[in-house]
Amino acid sequence: MCHLGWNHVYNFRLVNNQTKRARTALTIAGSDCSGGAGLEADLKTFTAHHVYGMAAVTCVVAENPRKVVSIHPVPSKIVCQQMKCCLEGMGSVSVKTGMLYSASIIRAVKKSISNFEFLISHLIVDPVMVATSGRRLLEKNAIRALKDLMGEHADLVTPNLDEAEILAERKIRSESQMETAAHLISQRFSCAVLLKGGHLEDRRRASDFLWNGRQGLWLRSARVHGIRTHGTGCVYSAAITANLASGRSLTVSVQRAKRFLTTAIRRAHKFGPWMALKVE
């Protein structure tokens, strides 16, 4: 399996030269010790987009691209304290959520977002429910709390097909069904939806559908074969968050994030104890 390739855009120019202010983004997510997903992937993506990244850790996860070994949730009080330390005294911050895991953590995040909503320019919710390896990353009794967070605060949600089926309460097997599901989710939670179609049985292309509540846009790229990826959803939502933090519109942010992710997949690094990571 592979980690995504980062080095094609990695540098440390974090300040917008036009406004002379630091562009900042906060990820609220689990920590992936192997570095390919979770807040580690988010922070790399922020930096690749010249955005200063901060992180509130929700869970410590022992994993690699092939398996999740164990999950240790952080106490919800500590999650709140991390968010407060990152947000208080800051200017406008773009925020994304990843793995939230439990109802208590989600409620703590929701409370903190309410307290600092005047400082949050955008909230992107990646409704992480299941790892690529198949391990559940959201407790069953936390789905209601996640829906409440989305409905009250999210500007954009970024479900994959499996997550969208839960949120829309219907099967999705085609592009037309993706459009219908995106409309339903948007209406239900009063936010824009980026429905990721990478798991559709289309060997030619990877197609995602953006619905902003008024109009839709298909984003398509040639499918990259021979690579089993890890952390694509994290990187996609983080790239959108970073572009929004840089002052771009939602549509442009999603388009740029799609291109960034496709390039990262094409340049993915092999991961495993039997081979070294390629460093360029």
DSSP 136: B
Is 33 one of the annotated active-site residues of the chain? no
DSSP 111: H
Is 5 one of the annotated active-site residues of the chain? no
Is 84 one of the annotated active-site residues of the chain? no
* 1 in a structural domain: no
Out of 132, 232, 241, 262, the active site residue is 232
**27/123 Cα distance (integer angstroms):** 10
Q: What pLDDT is recorded for position 223?
A: 78
Is 30 one of the annotated active-site residues of the chain? no
CATH for 45? 3.40.1190.20
Out of 44, 96, 110, 196, the active site residue is 196
Going residue by residue through the chain, which has 280 residues, state the pLDDT in tens, using 9 for 90 and above: 555 654 444 444 444 444 445 699 999 999 999 999 999 999 999 999 999 999 999 999 999 888 899 999 999 999 999 999 999 978 899 999 999 999 999 999 999 999 999 999 999 999 999 877 677 889 999 999 999 999 999 999 999 999 999 999 999 999 999 999 999 999 999 999 999 997 687 667 889 999 999 999 999 987 776 676 789 999 999 999 999 999 999 999 999 999 999 998 887 776 665 343 333 3
**Phi and psi of 200, rounded to 5°?**
-65, 150
Out of 27, 97, 158, 229, the active site residue is 229
Out of 80, 231, 258, 262, the active site residue is 231
* 131 in a structural domain: yes
* 93 in a structural domain: yes
**27/53 Cα distance (integer angstroms):** 8
Q: What pLDDT is recorded for position 280?
A: 32
* 23 in a structural domain: yes
**145/81 Cα distance (integer angstroms):** 20
**Based on C-alpha coordinates, what's the Rg of the chain?**
17
DSSP 101: B
The residue segments making up the domain with residue 26 are: 10-270
Is 147 one of the annotated active-site residues of the chain? no
**9/195 Cα distance (integer angstroms):** 26
Out of 158, 233, 241, 262, the active site residue is 233
* 80 in a structural domain: yes
Residue 175 CB coordination number (10 Å): 16
Q: 0.85 cut: is pTM over it?
A: yes
Out of 2, 234, 241, 258, the active site residue is 234
Is 229 one of the annotated active-site residues of the chain? yes
Q: What pLDDT is recorded for position 80?
A: 97
Q: What pLDDT is recorded for position 90?
A: 83
- As for how many domains the chain has, the answer is 1
Burial class of 19 by CB neighbour count within 10 A (0 to 12, 13 to 18, 19+): exposed
**E strands, the chain, in order:** 2-3, 15-16, 21-22, 24-32, 52-64, 67-73, 93-97, 120-125, 156-157, 192-196, 205-211, 216-222, 269-270
* 240 in a structural domain: yes
* 132 in a structural domain: yes
Q: What pLDDT is recorded for position 242?
A: 98
* 275 in a structural domain: no
